[in-house]
Amino acid sequence: MTINWFKYSSPATFYPLAGKMIPLFYALAAILTVIGLYISFFVAPTDATQGEAYRIIFIHVPAAWMSMFIYLVMAMWAGLGLVMNTRLSSIMAQALAPTGAMFTFVALITGAFWGKPTWGTWWEWDARMTSELILLFLYIGYMSLTAAIDDVRRADKAGAILALVGAVNVPIIYFSVKWWNTLHQGASVSITHAPSMAKTMLLGMLIMALAAWMYSIAVALSRARLLMLEREKSTAWAQEVLEQKS
C-alpha cells in the first residue's frame, strides 16, 4: 500500500484534518499537565541540596527543551519551503514561531526565578543564558521580518534564511554548559549518561515535557489553519469553508 503524503501537504486536505486533530491534542495536553503537576508536587521528593526551589525544574526544563526543539522544526519547515516551494511548509514555520518564543521566554523567566534562590542572582551573562536570550531575539526577529514584508512569498523566503542561519545557535545553547565554564549546571538528562536525578523527579519532568509537546502541536496547528485560510481566501476550498461557517 502506498500513502500519498503529498495529499496531506495540500491546504484543502490539511485544513479539515488539522481541525479534527486540534481538540485531541489540547485534551492530551490538559490531561498530561494534570498528571505531571501531581507528580511534580505530590510524588517527587524534596531535593537534598536545593530543597523545594528545584520544583521549578518541572516547567523550566520542558520549556527550554521546547524552545530549542521548536526552533529546529521551524527552521526545517522554513528551509523546506525555501527549497521545495511548498505552501504548507512556510505556513508551518510561521505557525510555530510565536509558541517557540513563548517557551523561550518562559525558560528564561523561570530560570531567573530559580537562579535567585539557588545562585543568588536573577541573571548572569554566562554562555547558556546569553545564547538562550539570543534564541528569543531570533524568534522575535523572524516574526518581525515575516510580518514586515507584504509579499507573502518574499516574506517566507527572507524568514527562511534568517531561521536557517539562526539554527547555528541551537547547538551552541545545548552544548554551552560543556564548552564553557558556566554558572548554569550541566545536563541532568542526556543520552550518554544515566539521569542524575530521582526517578520520580525525572518522570514528572518527562510528563510535563510531553504535555508541552501536545500543547505546542495544538496551538501551532490552530495558528497554521488561520494563516492558511488567510492566504488562500480566494480559492475554492477556502470559500467553501467560509460559506459553511457563516
Is 227 in contact with 96 (CB distance < 8 Å)?
Answer: no
213 near another protein, rule: CB under 8 A:
no
Contacts to another protein from residues 87-116, by CB under 8 A:
98-99, 102, 105-106, 109-110, 113-114, 116
Pick 69 or 157: Cβ nearer another protein: 69
12 near another protein, rule: CB under 8 A:
no
Pick 82 or 206: Cβ nearer another protein: 206
Contacts to another protein from residues 220-239, by CB under 8 A:
222-223, 226, 229-230, 233, 238-239
Instruction: Tell me the C-alpha distance between 235 and 6, whole Å.
Output: 19
Burial class (CB in 10 A: 0-12, 13-18, 19+), 74: buried
* Long-range Cβ contacts of 193-199 (<8 Å, 24+ apart): 198/44, 198/45
Least Å from the CB of residue 145 to another protein: 19
150 near another protein, rule: CB under 8 A:
no
- Dihedral of CA atoms 149, 153, 156, 157 in degrees, nearest 10, equals -100
Instruction: Tell me the C-alpha distance between 100 and 71, whole Å.
Output: 6
Contacts to another protein from residues 49-68, by CB under 8 A:
51-53, 55-56, 59-60, 63
Interface map 117-136 toward another protein (x if CB under 8 A): x-------------------
